[in-house]
Amino acid sequence: MRKSNLARRIWEPRRKAAKLPGLKFHTLRHTAAVLLLKANLHPKIVSERLGHASVSTTLDVYSAWIPALQAQAAEAMTGILGRLRQKHLRAA
């Protein structure tokens, strides 16, 4: 099925019946990617589901939409450094 037929025959009637705003069908793809990443699904898996040739494409496009990833990275590093510090203090 061609993209234009999908949009006209399937997406638009269902979108209107559900009283959704004028969203393009492609917006669902972006929404799905962001939701999967926010659910902490590994970016490589999201990349494969989207059909991207490389996980770097997925991260380039979507990581800016998820500022919580930076906070999670900071928290993870704090935990790692805290465990290393405790291990070092016990060894001393």
- Distance CA(62)–CA(83), nearest Å, equals 31
51 phi-psi bin (left φ>0, alpha ψ -120 to 50, beta other): left
In a domain, 16, yes or no: yes
In a domain, 75, yes or no: no
In a domain, 61, yes or no: yes
Task: Specify the amino acid at residue 39.
Answer: A
**pTM confidence score:** 0.64
In a domain, 46, yes or no: yes
What domain range includes position 22? Answer: 3-66
In a domain, 77, yes or no: no
In a domain, 74, yes or no: no
Q: Give the pLDDT confidence of 8-61 residue by residue, as tens digits.
A: 899 899 999 999 888 888 888 999 999 998 888 889 999 999 999 999 999 999
In a domain, 91, yes or no: no
Domain count, the chain: 1
In a domain, 41, yes or no: yes
